[in-house]
C-alpha cells in the first residue's frame, strides 16, 4: 500500500514537473516572441521617426523655396511694371521724335555755319585742318548711316577743339605766305588766341600775325629769345614760366578787355 502511494506521488511529481517545464518553455517562447515583436515595433518606430524627420526637413525646404519664389515673383512683377512704364515712355518719345528732329537738325546746321564763321574770322591757326574738319561735318549731315546723336556729338567735339585753341600753348609746322607772295615752311606757335608767331626753320627770322591786316609781319631780332623760349616750353624742353610774346589780338578783342 505504501509502495503504491509512493509510486503515485512520483508519478504526480513527474507530471507536475513536466507541466512546469512545459509552462516555462511556453513562457520563454512567449517572451522571445514578445521581445522579437517589440524589436520589430521599435525598428518600425525608428524608421517612422527617421521618415518623419526627413519629411519635416523636406517640408521646411519646400516652404523656403516657396518663400523665395514669392520674392522672385514680386521682383518680376515690379520689373514688368517698370518695363510697362518704359514702354509707355518710349511710345511717347517716338511720338515726339519727329518734332525733336525738326528742331535739332536745323540747330546742327546753324552750329556748323557758326564754326565756319569762327575759322574765317579767327587767326589761321591750323587753318587747313579746321576747314577740313568743317567740310567733314557738312558732308556728315547728309549721311543716313550716322545717327543724329552721333552727328551732334561730333559737332560738339569740333567746338571743343576750337575752344582749346583759345586756351592752350601749341606748336606745329606749316607753310606761311609772306609779303610779296613768297611762301615758306616755318615753325608756328600759338598761345591761345592772344599770340601767333612763326619762326623760320633755321631760326634766323621771326614773324607775328597781324590780325588787322591779316598778314605776317617781320619781328625784330630782339624778340628771338622770348620766342625761342616759348617754343622750348611748348615742346616741354624747359619748365613753364612767364612768357613775353607779341600780341596778335584784333581791335575788337582789345576793346572787349
Q: What are the start-end ranges of the E strands in the chain?
A: 169-177, 183-191, 195-200, 206-210, 215-218
Flag the least confident range among 34-38, 81-85, 174-178: 34-38
E strands present in 118-255: 169-177, 183-191, 195-200, 206-210, 215-218
Choose among 177, 252, 188: nearest CA to 215: 177
Is the pLDDT at 10 greater than 60? The verdict is no
Q: Would you say 170 and 123 are in contact if contact means Cβ atoms under 8 Å apart?
A: no
In sequence order, the β-bridge partners of residue 177 are 183
Of 223 and 21, which is predicted with more confidence?
223
Sequence-distant (6+) residues with CB within 8 A of 64 are none
* Least confident range of 59-63, 76-80, 171-175, 180-184: 76-80
C-alpha triplet 110, 112, 113: angle, nearest 5°:
65
* 54-66: average pLDDT: 85
Query: Across the chain, what does the average pLDDT equal?
Result: 84
Percentage of the chain with pLDDT > 90?
A: 46
SS3 content of the chain, % helix, strand, coil (to 5): 70, 15, 20
pLDDT for 2: 56
pTM for the model: 0.57
- Where in the chain are the domains? 102-163, 168-256
Amino acid at each position: 500500500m505504501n509502495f503504491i502511494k509512493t509510486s503515485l506521488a512520483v508519478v504526480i511529481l513527474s507530471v507536475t514537473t513536466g507541466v512546469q517545464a512545459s509552462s516555462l518553455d511556453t513562457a520563454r517562447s512567449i517572451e522571445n516572441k514578445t521581445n522579437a515583436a517589440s524589436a520589430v515595433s521599435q525598428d518600425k518606430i525608428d524608421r517612422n521617426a527617421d521618415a518623419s524627420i526627413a519629411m519635416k526637413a523636406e517640408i521646411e525646404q519646400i516652404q523656403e523655396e516657396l518663400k523665395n519664389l514669392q520674392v522672385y515673383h514680386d521682383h518680376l512683377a515690379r520689373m514688368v511694371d517698370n518695363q510697362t512704364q518704359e514702354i509707355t515712355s518710349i511710345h511717347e518719345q517716338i511720338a515726339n521724335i519727329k518734332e525733336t528732329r525738326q528742331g535739332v537738325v536745323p540747330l546742327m546746321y546753324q552750329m556748323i555755319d557758326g564754326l565756319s564763321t569762327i575759322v574765317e574770322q579767327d587767326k589761321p591757326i591750323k587753318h587747313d585742318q579746321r576747314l577740313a574738319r568743317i567740310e567733314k561735318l557738312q558732308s556728315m549731315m547728309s549721311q543716313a548711316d550716322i545717327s543724329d546723336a552721333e552727328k551732334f556729338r561730333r559737332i560738339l567735339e569740333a567746338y571743343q577743339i576750337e575752344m582749346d585753341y583759345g586756351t592752350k600753348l601749341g606748336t606745329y609746322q606749316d607753310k606761311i605766305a609772306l609779303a610779296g607772295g613768297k611762301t615758306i615752311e616755318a615753325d608756328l606757335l600759338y598761345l591761345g588766341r592772344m599770340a601767333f608767331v612763326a619762326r623760320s626753320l633755321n631760326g634766323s627770322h621771326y614773324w607775328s600775325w597781324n590780325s588787322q591786316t591779316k598778314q605776317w609781319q617781320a619781328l625784330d631780332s630782339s624778340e628771338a629769345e622770348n620766342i625761342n623760349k616759348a617754343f622750348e616750353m611748348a615742346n616741354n624742353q624747359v619748365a613753364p614760366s612767364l612768357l613775353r610774346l607779341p600780341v596778335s589780338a584784333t581791335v575788337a578783342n582789345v576793346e572787349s578787355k
